[in-house]
Structure formats: structure tokens, C-alpha cells
């Protein structure tokens, strides 16, 4: 009810992190291009397999002068996998502890990024070479205010170009170009890739790196599909540069969730050359996160953060203050950024103490903490649980029905239609 909403607003107001003046508005008026890096984990960055880089293009971006790369950034997804990642980054709300909010909460009221930016003159579109109803995207995107959803109906879908979850990344990006060019600028867009998806199959002729040699088939071929995805990204960047879009677009890239589950830890011990503890398994939930803004000073940030922080970070870069929005993350670039990173099961990571499976660890040594730090740990645990519970109240109670910032007009989802005949 609306009392719950008052509690939530009091919380999100107190949780708000003020923009950093060095970054606020650095990308004002620019296009936004999200590149969804399917199943990409951060351990791949700078990993060498037989002396060869697996993701040379992404590695090069960690050194790009206009790109910020975050190496302590975590996915926060649960059973909703890809859809949880999308849900979190479009709304700065947590996904649900069970199931997928995309499939069960598609008709809720949201104040999502495409709606916020749509009211600032942005067009918006999602590009994805798979069935539009997968994860209920074709419904919830309307509630988010996405103007266009280019799903498989808009792509060739040649049988020889298909992966298990849709069109392979290289033809996917290639075929997306005319649709991207049809959008009025500035645009807010998201490209959802699929080639690097479990169990990581790839036709022999597409491989450009030998598989790993752990003997665990999906782990071994993961390096090959990740390489393919990296090449597809480079190809798309080449287009962006040639077309000039590169100079006035913010490019955001995120790994959506793990690619190698804990069930494969024996093989991962061979990959990493060390024993994997529960704390290490939690650390493996790091995913690469990049933000490129033309003219912005880049570098490697070690700040702890997660997918929940993406939306406030982006809005502040675009010069839009998030103060009046109900968002559970905080701007990664703010001095006041909250570096406590909740996982959906109530575990958490932070630069000091981490909580995994009910045990607390020193985040620098990976060893269990002693009694003297227990109070601090329990305090962090309570903050995490409170935060997740409040976010769940918003999503389960559809509470955004009861509140909009003054500057925001709620979306009328009946105004959206993704049929191919739309003009
Ligand atoms: C499906 C694709 C995969 O369209 O985005 O989703 P996932 O299985 O990773 O959740
Ligand atoms: Mn996924």
C-alpha cells in the first residue's frame, strides 16, 4: 500500500548518492548504446590461454582513454538470468528471489530508463535476434516505455547463422545497422547478444582459438565462444567508428551473469590454477563492466559495485539527477557511492567484509573474520536484507503506481506495439 511506498521513498532518499561534478552531464544529449555481453565473466579479461588473449578487444578497452572499466563489478542476478540483468539495469530495482520479474511482473508500473529518457526526447529500441516472447520481453518492454523491439521477425534468421538462442552475434550486429540508423537521435538502445551462451557450441570454421584443456566440455569451449563474441564486438565498434556514432554515443557493456556455474569448479580450478573456496566462487561472480563516454577521462576503477548501480550512473552521466527516483543502486562515480554489493540470496561483497553462504570473510584475505569484526559484519548483513526486502516490496506490491517524480509521466503501455507493420 502507499504507507509501504512512504517507507521506500524515505529509504531511497537516504540512500541517494550525489552526482560527482567531474562526471555529471559528461555525456549530456549523447546516444546510449548498451551491449549485453552474454555470460561474460570478468576472469576472462586479460586471461591468457596458451599464451593467447581470449578477449583481445575487450582487453584493449580496459586501456582506452575514454573508457572506464570496473574490475570489482558483480552481477546480481538469480533464476531470471538474462532477464534479471535487464530488469536490474533498466530500473535499479532488484530481481526477485524466485522466478523472473520479467515474466511475472510485466504489467507493473515502472520508471525505467527508456521511459525516463523518452521524456527527454530520446528514441529507444532493443535489438535481439530471438523470439520476442522469450522472457516475456515483448510485454515488459512496453511497460518500460521501449518504442521499438527488433526481435527475430526483423532478422534473416538463416538456419546456418543460428545459435541455440538466436542469431549469431556477427550477423546479428551486421543486420542491426539499418534498424539502428532508422532511429531518430539521440537514441537509447540495447543489443542483446547470444553466441556466448551455455553450453558454448561453435562451428569449427568460426573458432579462432583452441579450446581449453580441462576436459570439461562446456568450460573448454567457453573460451572459443567468448573469443567469437569479442570479435563480433570489435566488428560493431568498427562500424560505430566509421559511421561517426562513436563520437557522440555512450557505450555501456556489462556481463549479464556467470557463464560457468559452481558445478564446474573442478574445471575452473584448472583454469585458474588454484583451489576455489566458497569465497572465491562468490568472487567469480564479477562480470566485466565498461562505460565509454567520448571526451571523458577513462581508466580502471576498483570501486565495488553491481548491476543495481548502472542506471543512476548512466543518468548522472547524461546530466539527469536521480534524486527523486526510486532506485536502489547508487552512482558508481559519486563520492557517496555505496560499495556494499548485495547478491540476491542475501550474500554480499564489499571491499572490507563479504558474506557467502552464511559465513563472513575478510575481503582482502578471503579468510573467515574473527569475533572482533562480527558486529560490523552483522550490521552489513542487516543493511543488505533490508535493502532487498524494500525492493521486493516495490516489485511485489507494484508500488510505483502510487508515486512518480514531478518530472515523470507514467507510461501508457497500450501505446506500444512491436508488430512488424508499425511505422
Ligand atoms: C534468450 C537469451 C538468453 O533470448 O537472452 O537468456 P538466458 O538463458 O541467458 O537467461
Ligand atoms: Mn544470459
Specify the ligand 1 atom closest to the Cα of 84. 10
Ligand 2 centroid distance, CA of 40 (Å): 9
Residue 88 DSSP one-character state = H
Pocket test of ligand 1: the residue of 134, 163, 218 to mutate, having most ligand atoms within 8 Å of its CB, is 134
Which candidate, 146, 151, 148, places its Cα nearest to that of 134? Answer: 151
Residue 286 DSSP one-character state = B
Specify the ligand 1 atom closest to the Cα of 197. 9
Strand partners, 190: 34, 126
Q: What residues line ligand 1, using a CB cutoff of 6 Å?
A: 81-82, 130, 134, 165-166, 192, 194, 197
Ligand 2 centroid distance, CA of 256 (Å): 6
Distance CA 63, CA 69 (A): 8
For residue 100, the model assigns a pLDDT of 98
Residues assigned a catalytic role: 82
C-alpha radius of gyration, the chain, whole number: 21
Specify the ligand 1 atom closest to the Cα of 134. 4
Ligand nearest to the CA of 75: 2
SS3 content of the chain, % helix, strand, coil (to 5): 40, 15, 45
Could you give the ipTM of this predicted complex? Answer: 0.99
Task: Let me know: does 406 contact 324? Beta carbons within 8 Å.
Answer: yes
The DSSP bridge pattern shows strands 52-53 and 48-49 to be antiparallel
User: What is this structure's pTM?
Assistant: 0.98
Ligand nearest to the CA of 128: 1
CB within 5 A of ion ligand 2: which residues?
A: 38, 81-82, 256
Cell of 23: 562526471
For residue 418, the model assigns a pLDDT of 98
Q: Which residue has its alpha carbon closest to ligand 1 atom 7?
A: 82
Task: Let me know: does 196 contact 257? Beta carbons within 8 Å.
Answer: no
What separation in angstroms does the CA of 84 have from each of 23, 76, 144, 201, 405?
Answer: 28, 8, 14, 24, 24
Specify the ligand 1 atom closest to the Cα of 83. 10
Strand partners, 331: none
Ligand 1 centroid distance, CA of 256 (Å): 9
For residue 390, the model assigns a pLDDT of 98
Cβ-based neighbours of 280, under 8 Å, separated by 6 or more: 274, 366
Residue 262 DSSP one-character state = G
Pocket test of ligand 1: the residue of 99, 130, 135 to mutate, having most ligand atoms within 8 Å of its CB, is 135
Ligand 2 centroid distance, CA of 81 (Å): 5
Pocket test of ligand 1: the residue of 35, 36, 37, 38 to mutate, having most ligand atoms within 8 Å of its CB, is 38
Task: Let me know: does 212 contact 54? Beta carbons within 8 Å.
Answer: no
Specify the ligand 1 atom closest to the Cα of 80. 10
For residue 165, the model assigns a pLDDT of 97
Mean pLDDT of successive 10-residue stretches along the chain, which has 423 residues: 91 98 98 98 98 98 98 98 99 98 98 98 98 98 98 97 97 98 98 98 97 98 98 99 98 98 98 98 98 98 99 99 98 98 98 97 98 98 98 98 96 96 58
Ligand 1 centroid distance, CA of 191 (Å): 13
Amino acid at each position: 500500500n502507499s504507507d509501504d511506498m512512504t517507507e521506500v521513498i524515505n529509504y531511497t532518499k537516504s540512500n541517494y548518492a550525489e552526482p560527482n561534478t567531474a562526471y555529471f552531464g559528461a555525456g549530456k544529449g549523447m546516444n546510449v548504446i548498451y551491449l549485453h555481453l552474454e555470460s561474460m565473466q570478468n576472469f576472462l579479461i586479460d586471461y591468457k590461454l596458451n599464451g593467447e588473449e581470449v578477449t583481445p578487444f575487450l582487453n584493449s578497452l580496459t586501456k582506452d582513454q575514454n573508457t572506464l572499466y570496473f574490475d570489482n563489478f558483480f552481477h546480481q542476478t538469480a533464476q531470471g538470468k538474462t532477464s534479471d540483468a535487464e530488469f536490474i539495469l533498466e530500473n535499479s530495482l532488484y530481481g526477485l528471489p524466485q522466478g523472473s520479474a520479467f515474466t511475472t511482473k510485466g504489467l507493473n508500473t515502472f520508471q525505467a530508463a527508456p521511459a525516463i529518457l523518452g521524456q527527454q526526447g530520446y528514441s529507444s529500441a532493443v535489438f535481439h535476434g530471438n523470439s520476442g516472447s522469450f522472457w516475456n520481453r515483448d510485454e515488459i518492454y512496453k511497460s518500460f516505455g521501449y518504442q521499438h523491439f527488433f526481435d527475430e521477425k526483423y532478422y534473416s534468421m538463416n538456419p546456418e547463422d543460428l545459435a541455440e538462442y538466436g542469431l549469431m552475434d556477427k550477423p546479428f550486429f551486421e543486420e542491426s545497422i539499418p534498424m539502428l540508423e532508422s532511429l531518430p537521435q539521440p537514441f537509447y538502445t540495447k543489443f542483446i547478444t547470444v553466441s556466448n551462451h551455455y553450453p558454448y557450441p561453435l562451428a569449427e570454421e568460426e573458432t579462432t582459438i583452441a579450446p581449453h584443456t580441462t576436459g570439461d566440455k562446456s568450460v573448454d569451449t567457453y573460451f572459443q565462444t567468448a573469443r567469437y563474441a569479442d570479435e563480433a564486438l570489435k566488428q560493431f565498434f568498427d562500424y560505430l567508428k566509421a559511421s561517426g556514432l562513436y563520437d557522440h554515443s555512450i557505450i555501456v557493456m556489462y556481463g549479464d551473469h556467470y557463464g560457468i556455474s559452481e558445478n564446474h569448479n573442478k574445471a575452473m580450478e584448472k583454469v585458474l590454477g588454484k583451489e576455489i573456496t566458497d569465497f572465491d566462487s562468490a568472487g567469480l561472480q564479477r562480470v566485466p563492466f565498461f562505460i565509454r563516454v567520448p571526451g571523458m577521462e577513462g581508466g580502471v576503477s576498483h570501486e565495488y559495485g553491481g548491476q543495481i548501480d548502472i542506471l543512476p550512473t548512466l543518468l548522472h552521466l547524461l546530466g539527469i539527477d536521480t534524486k527523486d527516483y526510486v532506485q536502489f543502486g547508487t552512482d558508481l562515480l559519486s563520492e557517496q557511492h555505496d560499495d556494499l554489493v548485495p547478491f540476491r540470496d542475501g550474500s554480499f561483497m564489499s571491499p572490507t567484509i563479504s558474506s557467502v553462504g552464511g559465513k563472513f570473510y575478510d575481503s582482502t584475505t578471503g579468510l573467515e573474520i574473527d569475533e572482533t569484526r562480527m558486529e560490523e559484519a552483522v550490521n552489513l548483513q542487516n543493511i543488505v536484507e533490508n535493502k532487498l526486502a524494500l525492493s521486493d516490496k516495490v516489485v511485489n506490491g507494484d508500488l510505483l503506481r502510487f508515486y512518480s517524480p514531478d518530472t515523470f509521466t507514467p507510461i501508457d503501455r497500450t501505446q506500444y506495439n512491436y508488430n512488424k507493420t508499425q511505422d
